[in-house]
Structure 1
Amino acid sequence: MSARTVAEARRVVNASLQESTAEDGIERVVLGDPVESGRYWVFFYQGREYVESGDLDSLLVGNTPIVVPKDGGASFALPSVRDVDAQIRALASEDSPTGPATA
C-alpha cells in the first residue's frame, strides 16, 4: 500500500467527524493543519459552533486528536488519560504502526 498523503488523511478525519455528527448532531471541524509525527498525521478538531461563535457553551471538552497512520492503517483517537503532547512525541519515535501504547 502506498503512503497516505495529508489530503487523504484529512478526508479520513472528515469522514470520522461526519460520523460523530450523525450520532450526536454536533458538527465538528478540523483545526488548521495536522501535526506530522513520524508515521502519523495528528488532527485536532473542535465543534463548528464554538469555532465560529466563540461561545464557551458550545466548546467540546475532552475530545482528543485523531491520529491517521500514513501507511493506510485505521485511524484512532489518542487516549485522554495521558498528556496529548507527550503522546504525539511518542508517536514520532514509535516503531509499531498499530497506535500508541496506553499504559
Structure 2
Amino acid sequence: MNTPAGDVVDAADARRIALRMLSDAEQRGGTPCVLVGQPEDQGRWWVQGYQSRAFMEDGDVMQALAGNGPFAIPEDGSAPFRLGTAEPADVQLARLRERESS
C-alpha cells in the first residue's frame, strides 16, 4: 500500500489507497464498505472516512458501522493506518505529531 520512497501522496492517491484497504478487508470477510466524502488534508496525513455500503445505499441504521475510525494516509507514502473513534482525527494526529517531534 505504500508508494515508492520520495513520492508524495495526493488526494487522489489517498482515495485509491483507502479503496484498496476497504477491498482488502472485504476479501478477508469484512463488511462491504464505501468511502464517505473526500480525503481531508491534515498536514502530513490525509484522513478518509468510510461506512458500510448497506447503510449508505439503504439508510438502515441497523446496517451502519459503529467504531469505524477513519483511515490516516501519510502524505510521505508510508503505511496507512486507522484512527480511533474516541477523539476527533485532528486531535489524534496532533498527539502523533507531538510524539514524533519529541
Q: TM-score, normalised by structure 2?
A: 0.81
CA–CA separation in structure 2 for the residues paired with 1:10 and 1:58: 23
CA–CA separation in structure 2 for the residues paired with 1:25 and 1:63: 12
Q: CA deviation at 1:9?
A: 1.1
Q: How many residue pairs end up in the alignment?
A: 94
Q: Deviations over 1:42-94 (max 9, x none)?
A: 000000110011101110111001000000000000134x4124224x16x82
2:68 and 2:84 in contact (8 A); partners too: no
Partner SS state of residue 73, structure 2 = strand
Runs of 5+ in structure 1 lacking a partner?
98-103
Higher fraction of strand: 2
2:55 and 2:61 in contact (8 A); partners too: yes
- Across the aligned residues of Structure 1 and Structure 2, the Cα RMSD in angstroms comes to 2.1
**Identity over aligned pairs, percent:** 33
- Aligned with residue 16 of structure 1, among 21, 30, 48: 21
Runs of 4+ in structure 1 deviating by more than 4 angstroms, as ranges, are: none
CA–CA separation in structure 2 for the residues paired with 1:45 and 1:51: 10
Sort the Cα spacing of 1:73 and 1:64 in 2 relative to 1 into closer, same or farther, 3 A.
same
Q: TM-score, normalised by structure 1?
A: 0.81
CA–CA separation in structure 2 for the residues paired with 1:6 and 1:62: 24
